[in-house]
Amino acid sequence: MSTLVAYYSRAGQNYGNGGIIDLPKGNTEILAEAIADALGATLFKIDTVEPYPTDYYATTDQAKRELREQARPAIKGPLPSMEGVDSIVLGYPNWWGTMPMAVKTFLDALDLDGVTIAPLCTNEGSGLGGSVGDLRRSYPAAHVVDGLSIRGADSARSTGKAVAWARKAIKA
């Protein structure tokens, strides 16, 4: 059996340390890459067909609309094979108290029956929000374990913590 590390992450304008900063690489991507490397897992970046605006505030407005409408933005494929996959480390930023809707687009396309999902959420103080409960309600065929919240600004120095959590969460 194997593990898939799937993540949504946003580089460019982001909120961090009390203001808008420009990230060359998204916070969640940093953690997802470290986990996939340490576990020898397949890495899959969830990416939307239509990019979000470069402006941080325009992106948050769009994310809020998508959440309110329960939208499923189209994502780039092909999707990874789920053959032999028994666990997914699922990384995402906290957008309006939960995961970006593109993450749900991704999950909706998979057979998650019996798959363990370990949620990893980056944020600037809002923690996991309601994302773990949302995952459990939306994907009852999966086994959603308790998630890990990491402050986005601490991502680069939190890779060891994230790897240790992932190993325990999926029992690797």
Question: What value does the mean pLDDT take over residues 80-107?
Answer: 97
pLDDT-derived band at 172 (thresholds 50, 70, 90) equals low
Instruction: Tell me the pairing of strands 143-144 and 116-123.
Output: parallel
The CATH number given to 2-169 is 3.40.50.360
Q: What is the structure's pLDDT at 157?
A: 97
Handedness of CA 77, 99, 164, 146 (dihedral sign): negative
* Tens digit of each residue's pLDDT (9 = 90 or more) over 143-162: 999 999 999 999 999 999 99
Q: What is the structure's pLDDT at 2?
A: 95
Distance from C-alpha of 15 to C-alpha of 22, rounded to nearest angstrom? 9
Distance from C-alpha of 168 to C-alpha of 68, rounded to nearest angstrom? 34
* Tens digit of each residue's pLDDT (9 = 90 or more) over 19-71: 899 999 999 999 999 999 999 999 999 999 999 999 999 999 999 999 999 99
| Domain range annotation of the chain | 2-169
